A = this chain, B = another copy of it.
Amino acid sequence: MNNDIRQLLENVKSGVISIDDAVLELKKAPFEELGYAKVDMHRRVRQGASEVIYGAGKTPEQILGIAARMIDAGQKNILITRMSADAASLVGSKLDLSYDEKSRIGIIGSIPPPTGIGRIIVATGGTSDIPVAEEAALTAEFLGNEVVRLYDVGVSGLHRLLSHMDEIMSASVIIAIAGMEGALASVIGGLADCPVIAVPTSVGYGASYEGISALLSMLNSCASGVTVVNIDNGFGAGYSASMINHMEVHE
């Protein structure tokens, strides 16, 4: 959608393409129609770069169809989130897939070497937040980041967190993942000097209300530099963290 309009107009002007082709171009690219989905070759996509399929609400057949179409189009590495075991089984029987059951992340192709500014820390309040944390960590790794995992460092045992002050002070971005009271983001936000992305999880019971308690806590964090993503949205946190960890001077 970016600067292509000017380019297209110049091509029309210079006669490189006809008007009808130009209109067609605007309609066709940059996605392909599969009926049940429009396969997106989106934002700055160059052949061979990374691509993501959001697996939830798609049948195994649909996921396979989309992935196959992407590979045909030259895509090498594909991340599939919220992938059911069934979908992994089907896709794995046809394509070169590695699958992490805990986080329900599937990866076609390979994880690239890290290219970011620094390291991304993925921290969790408890053991049961690990599935969401792995979704975030694998996403960040898939997008070219070095990831450090700090699991089970919840604020009710502060010493566990404080013993990792070195890692926290040297991080580029921190992803703070917690259910229940969700205080981890505030405490880390107060300790760290870098952007903190908070992920509430649906872990808990009673008045945790499937993550709403943690979500509200994190939104109300008094620590500056904390932003929040949706409950259990490990992927979103990993993606945003990667984006921040790849900031570069615009000229």
Residues on A facing B (Cβ under 8 Å): 1-3, 5-6, 9-10, 12-13, 19, 22-23, 26-31, 35-38, 40, 42-44, 52, 54, 56-58, 62, 82, 117-119, 125-128, 130, 151-160, 162-166, 169-172, 179-183, 186-187, 189-191, 193-195, 197, 200, 202-209, 211-233, 235-237, 239-240, 243-245, 247-250
Contacts and interface: CB of A to CB of B under 8 A. Distances in A.
Contacts of A38: 151-153, 157, 160
Contacts of A206: 200, 202, 211, 215, 219-220, 230-233
A243 B225 contact: yes
B224 A207 contact: no
A1 B240 contact: no
Contacts of A231: 205-207, 219
Dominant SS among interface residues on chain A: mixed
A156 B189 contact: yes
20 contacts: A1-B158, A6-B23, A9-B9, A13-B13, A26-B163, A27-B164, A31-B157, A38-B160, A156-B187, A181-B221, A181-B222, A183-B217, A207-B212, A208-B220, A213-B213, A213-B220, A214-B220, A224-B239, A225-B243, A226-B240
A54 to B, nearest CB: 8
Nearest to A22: B9
A216 B200 CA distance: 13
A245 B28 CA distance: 30
Nearest to A40: B157
